[in-house]
Chain A
């Protein structure tokens, strides 16, 4: 009875989270929705007498994989977004048709199957002495080769990441001395202002000022600026306010 209630609750939660994952426009929301789906799955595993799998699900997926997703999103920038305008004629329509058709087929097929009453995981693993030993037995005997060969997959993945992202240093790393020399050679502002001289805020929503007192466009945080413009909350300094407005205008172009 408890299992049934849990199932129906989690079914609603996880399916709506999955839908949210697909339909949400913001990458961070998607990631969080994914987290919800994974957690629901973990609970379902636990309810079905598979505590080990539930723990692994949480540790590996919710813990590691999800965090990785979020890290990447943060690195890329939460405010960067792809265009969601569909350019291919009929793509959406046919995708919906195909997806719905496929779902109907799945539903028909699974619904029409006459399933014998389940034995339950506890019963199934009893001979091996419990869930974890049963799993161990399968992994280390029958499926040991698959288990070992999966390492090839991991090595490949690691190697692939290295190949795609690691850039060998082709020239010597410039020393501080070399940098200073280069700066003096080009002339320009020879002496940099000391730290903290011009900054009046270290808050993320305050743009930085350049040595000549003007606002550095580069330092305007687009997300916060957008909110500021929407809420008409501008800093007192007109120069800063102007810079924020400009940044938002530029972005919307």
Chain B
């Protein structure tokens, strides 16, 4: 044997990631060995402690070692400033989402029972719900972290799948309207697989061009390889399709409303916040790190996609009648706003500015989103959540506090000053203007105005319409849900009034840009 040098793995820097995956595996073992009545009691603290611990580890790492400057795990993973920030954001959003998940009323009692069958009734009568959601959620969260921190296309693909697979399943586990939920799950799975295929195809093209899947290596190859540019363009386009699908950019957005509507709302919250953050981390890595020197070529295309995304998201949201679908389209529009920041590349300082704006936006938007979906879980009908907008009429008269908070979240989505959404939008648009994308910002502002229309419409509906006689009830929130709403509202206020510390943090994370 000529001998293989054992690989070096920087366990210290990878600890947050390893902790999440480790806890997920422990969770699976608990499913296997712990008695049914104990499982939830073990899962909840385990999951929460894991996520908080991983968050703590991220902070400790930043405080102790600062920002690492080289990729780890044999160049597979880049634990750099943006990664650490995104990890922190994902973990915070996950903690909040897990608090929401920790509510039996959202998940199916027995996924294998046919909807509407006596088996199902029996399972519901016995109470409880699938506790597998906890390890599955942990796997998804680990996948998100991996996806956003990957330093080569291979690990990025694995991360993409590790993130998506548990989510496909979790989408199908809603307790109520199970057929809708299962339909959303299948759709998400099929389309996700379809887009993954594009990603893989693109990866193959890029490999054919550069001879490596390493992001830094691809960047090096841009100046070196000649005559195969068509391969490169094709690969870029196909990689882009896979990533745009994940962030829900038009015309790859079709899955979002269906899936957001069908999935159990806590899972929707996790997807709408965490997945979006992770996917943008990956978009930035591919387009800035690997293809940064190709920006002259991909920028016009991304211009088109960003414009289309903003407009489609804002316009389609207007005619929605379901609150979750409306939030899904709003999420599409926000993906468009974020893309304007991705486009705003230039010199290193400009890049750092755009990056810091994006990081802030992702945090602000993620937290508000989780809060909004938490409110959605609390407005209930006999048949579960009251999704139809007409059912929300007059909510402000029945439950002014809840309606007020929801209105506040909507205003934050619309980007009204003194909410976190304002500073997020302001920062991203400012960066885009500095990056020479003024027309894009004009489109962004116009679609923000269109979007404000449907946010305000919901507010008007809640506060100025007469409540229906048989209107939905407001569930007394569990401690977790109440905490989520309170946290999200507090964060939205604080980031809207005193955003400076978080801006500073994002600046610090972005200043060193990505490692290659």
Contact = CB atoms under 8 A, between A and B. Distances in A.
Interface in B212-230: 226-230
B158 A170 contact: no
A128 B1 CA distance: 10
A105 interface: yes
A171 B132 CA distance: 22
B443 interface: no
A144 B11 CA distance: 13
A179 interface: no
Of A113, A133, A162, most B-chain CB atoms within 10 Å: A113
A133 B1 CA distance: 9
Of A156, A160, A171, most B-chain CB atoms within 10 Å: A156
Given A113-B231, A149-B21, A164-B112, A156 B7 contact: no
Given A145-B76, A145-B77, A155-B139, A162 B230 contact: no
A41 to B, nearest CB: 14
Contact of A113 (B9, B110, B228): B228
Given A137-B4, A144-B7, A164-B169, A159 B158 contact: no
Contacts of B254: none
Interface stretch (B122-130, B271-279, B464-472): B122-130
Given A109-B234, A152-B24, A146 B132 contact: no
Contact of B165 (A109, A114, A115, A153): A153
Contact of A156 (B1, B166, B229, B234): B166
A156 B132 contact: no
A142 B139 contact: no
Interface size class of A (residues with CB under 8 A): 35 or more
Of A136, A142, A146, A153, most B-chain CB atoms within 10 Å: A146
Contact of A109 (B76, B135, B230): B230
A143 B111 CA distance: 36
B7 A149 contact: no
B80 interface: no
Contacts of B269: none
A168 B110 contact: yes
Q: Is the interface of A mostly helix, strand, loop or mixed?
A: helix
A162 B32 CA distance: 11
Contacts of B226: 114
Interface size class of B (residues with CB under 8 A): 35 or more
B262 interface: no
B227 A141 contact: no
A140 interface: yes
B5 interface: yes
A155 B228 contact: no
Contacts of A168: 36, 110, 123
Contact of B75 (A133, A142, A164): A142
A141 B166 CA distance: 27
B119 A167 contact: yes
Of A149, A153, A155, A168, most B-chain CB atoms within 10 Å: A149
Contacts of B21: 149, 152
Interface string B5-31: 111010000000000010011001001
A223 B227 CA distance: 57
Nearest to A115: B228
A153 B158 contact: yes
A170 B28 CA distance: 21
Interface in B487-510: none
Interface string B71-101: 0011111000000000000000000000000
A149 B162 contact: yes
A162 B199 CA distance: 28
Interface in B108-145: 110-113, 119, 122-123, 126, 130, 132, 135-136, 139, 142-143
A146 B2 contact: no
Contact of B9 (A115, A144, A167): A144
Contact of B136 (A112, A143, A156): A156
What are the 3 A-B residue pairs with the smallest beta carbon separation, nearest first?
A114-B227, A109-B230, A167-B112
Given A164-B112, A166-B112, 4 more contacts: A109-B234, A156-B139, A156-B169, A170-B126
